[in-house]
Chains A and B, each alone.
Chain A
Amino acid sequence: MTAAADVPSPAAASPPRSAFGAAFDKGFEILCFAAATFLLAALGGIVVSLAIGGWPAFQAFGLNFFVSAEWDPVQEIYGAAGAVTGTLVTAALALLFALPLSFGIAIFLVELCPPVLRRPIGTAVELLAGIPSIVYGMWGLFVFAPWFAKYIQMPIMMSAQPGSLWEKITAGVPNGAGILSASIILAIMILPFIAATLRELLLSIPAQVRESAYGLGSTTFEVVRKVSIPYVRTGAIGAVMLGLGRALGETMAVTFIIGNSHGFPTSIFASGSTIASTIANEFAEATEQLHSASLIALGLVLFVITFAVLALARLLIGRQANL
């Protein structure tokens, strides 16, 4: 509000404005303020209604809701741990796969790409961001999963020594549905967001900075590593967190390919579930009060996780900016 109080002072120095102009300005200010607070109110409203809707679940299970992986609609016992684990694991794996690729794409486009190719590749990356989630899900289930099972999962499973730890990690049904395939689909989905943002960031580096580095005799790799990336580090963390946020909340594509079993995933090929997929699967048919309350409570947990990720990103960016 201090900014608002400052507004009249420059006005006093300038020639007097018409009464209409002043009134309009006031109205404009109110409109902008309303727009900003409306968003806050909506956000607050969502949190409050999630908390109220999920309250019966928190009340019934207490802390157990967060540590138990039991999910039994018949006995009405619900625990979020399995879905939370699935969400975190798939999002983290997706980021792990998407990050190097996105950096590769962005750096290639900005530093190395022949001008003829720059537009087509850039457009392709942006198009990838526009594909609806359900299409990724269908493609994942009917095209990617069989291919993945045949050429990646089966060879890995057959190469495992019986009784070894590796066999345990790679156990699962050889049809391409599970934690790892869901993570790969997620990686493809978040890739364009991270890559496009990184490209914009790299393009924002003043030409003199890069040219000077080249002028000093640096190789391309040295320029990228020592000049470009440090220059955009703050923004890059933001881009990565944007991708992570999307991976955490992604629903349809994951639901189709993750195998949808509750409980902790036991291997990389095992079926699992995420918070979003559990809600999408069960909410429409949840008639018992405790069942829908538990699903709403799951929503609140996802909200908190996403919020924590964004807060962490802010913190990191803030620290970088101070350096």
Chain B
Amino acid sequence: MYRKLIVGLAACLALSACGQKTEGKGGSTAPAGAQISGAGATFPAPLYAKWAEVQKADTGVALNYQAIGSGGGIKQIKAKTVAFGASDKPLKPDELAAEGLAQFPTVIGGVVPIVNLPGLQPSQLKLTGPVLADIFLGKVTKWNDPAIIALNAGVKLPNLPITVVHRADGSGTSFLFTSYLTAVAPQWASVGASDAVKWPTGQGGKGNDGVSGYVKQTPGAIGYVEYAFAKQNGLPHASLQNAAGQFVDPTADAFAAAASGADWSATPGFYLLLINQPGAGAWPITGATFILMHKQQADPATGKAVLGFFDRAYATGDAAASELAYVPLPATLKAQVRASWSAIVGPDGKPVYAPAAQ
């Protein structure tokens, strides 16, 4: 009996020792052969996986990224259980300061309204922000409402009730969409902007596929999904009026236009939603996805490995991003992000990573 106990205890000790060993390996060794751990947003997860696959072959750095959602990513980085957190929703500068975190964007995406209107060509429908807000508030309830007809001269709109479909799960997509409605439509203030809100009307689908499923099955439905999802599935979208008064379609160029029009240098911690940006070709519901790291890195090697990973991704990963329907950051923004990394320091107060001159 006691011998068994002792054997068991020894086994436990051996196991935990192994655990410690692997942990140490992840943290302290040089970037070559290192493992870095991250957790957070699901939206960029396919791209991070692709980047990791390429870099694993090139440099031997392995990325262990858990797509647990932006909220989970923020919690994990605050608890310091991962080397970096990832979030679709940027933290405000004061929150970053309170937690001692640094934040920078990696890629750009956006939100696209999708519709199911029998008898209409895909992308034939034009909408403005305030009308979109009225639809999602349940104030405009029919497709032949005068407000929609006024925007779509020459299009025959059916006398069909509008079914609103929104995300049921908390999501960066909802955050961006409601932030846009808050920015362009004063009447949306009663609902507000968040990754989950109290929707005044409509049905909730789980995930992008849940929303698109409901929209496809319901004539007269309108919903919203991520650009990458809409593009890959060829969903019929509505074009939106941007800040310059132009009606634009969601294309990679329109997202890039929104990103290049933004003034990132004036925003500490890159806290910027690319909502309703100026520029004739800019798509109005655009946003970046972000990485969160502690400014004080207890283990400089880990910090160095993480920043090295994203530096290489900026330098060589744009093609992979475009292929997966994400929009790469403009070169000027990348330079600004690289410059901001000097604030991430080790225990000796020196920056953990010096980006190579581009």
Contact = CB atoms under 8 A, between A and B. Distances in A.
Interface string A31-55: 0000000000000000000000000
A271 B199 CA distance: 12
B204 interface: yes
Contact of A74 (B4, B172, B191, B204): B191
A281 interface: yes
A173 B169 contact: no
Given A75-B192, A285-B70, A285-B71, A260 B203 contact: yes
A281 B69 CA distance: 11
Contacts of A174: 218
A104 interface: no
Given A73-B196, A175-B218, A282 B210 contact: no
Given A175-B214, A284-B69, A285-B69, A260 B192 contact: no
Contacts of A302: none
A282 B70 CA distance: 11
A23 B4 CA distance: 13
A284 B217 contact: no
Contacts of A24: 1
B77 to A, nearest CB: 12
Given A145-B217, A256-B210, A287-B75, A74 B194 contact: yes
Contacts of B193: 74
B288 interface: no
Interface string B187-208: 0000111111111001111100
Interface string B167-198: 01111100000000000000000011111111
Interface residues of A, number: 37
B68 interface: yes
B170 A285 contact: yes
Contacts, number: 97
A173 B217 CA distance: 11
B168 A260 contact: yes
Contacts of B68: 284
A281 B206 contact: yes
Given A74-B193, A173-B163, A176-B217, A287 B198 contact: no
A284 B214 contact: no
A282 B196 contact: yes
Contact of B197 (A70, A72, A176, A281): A72
A70 B170 CA distance: 17
Contacts of A261: 199, 202-204
A282 B203 contact: no
B317 interface: no
B96 to A, nearest CB: 14
Interface in B1-51: 1, 4
B198 A177 contact: no
Nearest to A70: B198
Contacts of A175: 163, 203, 214, 217-218, 221
A223 interface: no
Interface in A172-231: 173-177
B100 interface: no
A286 B170 contact: yes
A31 B149 CA distance: 75
Interface in A276-294: 277, 280-282, 284-287, 291
Contacts of B194: 73-74
A92 B191 CA distance: 33
Contacts of A287: 70-71, 74-75, 195
Nearest to B202: A261
A106 B248 CA distance: 61
Contacts of B202: 261
Contact of B168 (A23, A74, A145, A281): A281
B213 interface: yes
**Which of the listed residues A71, A149, A256, A285 has the most CB atoms from chain B within 10 Å of its own CB?**
A285
Given A281-B169, A284-B169, A285-B69, A71 B198 contact: yes
B351 interface: no
Nearest to A291: B196
Given A149-B217, A287-B74, A262 B198 contact: yes
B308 interface: no
**Which of the listed residues A71, A74, A287, A291 has the most CB atoms from chain B within 10 Å of its own CB?**
A287
Given A73-B197, A259-B203, A261-B203, A285 B217 contact: no
A146 interface: yes
Contact of A260 (B163, B172, B195, B205): B205
Given A73-B197, A282-B170, A284-B69, A177 B192 contact: no
Interface in B44-97: 68-72, 74-75
A34 to B, nearest CB: 12
Contacts of A281: 168-170, 196, 204, 206
14 contacts: A73-B170, A75-B198, A141-B210, A149-B217, A175-B217, A177-B214, A256-B210, A259-B203, A262-B198, A271-B204, A281-B206, A282-B170, A284-B170, A286-B170
Given A74-B191, A175-B214, A285-B172, 17 more contacts: A70-B198, A71-B198, A74-B192, A74-B193, A173-B163, A173-B218, A175-B203, A255-B206, A259-B204, A261-B202, A271-B203, A281-B196, A284-B68, A284-B71, A285-B69, A285-B71, A285-B72
Interface of A: 23-24, 26-27, 70-75, 141-142, 145-146, 149, 173-177, 255-256, 259-262, 271, 273, 277, 280-282, 284-287, 291
